[in-house]
Amino acid sequence: MSAHDDIELRRYWIEFELPPPPSAPASRGVALDGGESFTRIGALRGGVGVTGYDLDDCLAMVVTYIWQADDLPPIARVVEQPDLSRELGRFPISPNANPVLRGIWRPGPTGPLSGPPPKWRQG
């Protein structure tokens, strides 16, 4: 049993202030040109579902596993312990991974995350 087993995990739904999506191309074909769907912004569009020790821990996972840079866009909205059976605004919250375990469960799974907890949780 580790020192972290008694720490309660919290679920968060996080939406970011992002620029509007680019206009759809005239062609309806599939373009593999590195468009928005392959960018960091595309990964954040629609919201991120993540479970962690607290909001700071969850944001650190978003930076590490999705954004991969320190300049995370401004946060538009955070919902703590969202009801996964409902929608939040226009965004469905259907987990792609187990939202009970520490990790990102929407848009794509990273969890359960292995490795040590954040340095501030070690001790």
Does some domain include residue 96?
A: yes
Does some domain include residue 92?
A: yes
- Count of domains observed in the chain: 1
Task: Write the pLDDT tens digit of every residue in 79-108.
Answer: 999 988 877 666 667 777 888 999 998 876
**Which residues face 91 on adjacent strands?**
88
Does some domain include residue 1?
A: no
Does some domain include residue 14?
A: yes
Higher pLDDT, 101 or 21: 101
Does some domain include residue 76?
A: yes
Does some domain include residue 68?
A: yes
Q: Which residues form the domain of 91?
A: 10-19+35-112
Residue 26 has pLDDT above 70, yes or no: no
Task: Write the pLDDT tens digit of every residue in 42-85.
Answer: 778 888 999 999 999 999 999 988 888 878 999 999 999 998 88
Integer-rounded Cα radius of gyration of the chain: 16
Question: Given pLDDT bands bounded at 50, 70 and 90, which one contains residue 114?
Answer: very low
| Residue 39: predicted pLDDT | 65
Does some domain include residue 30?
A: no
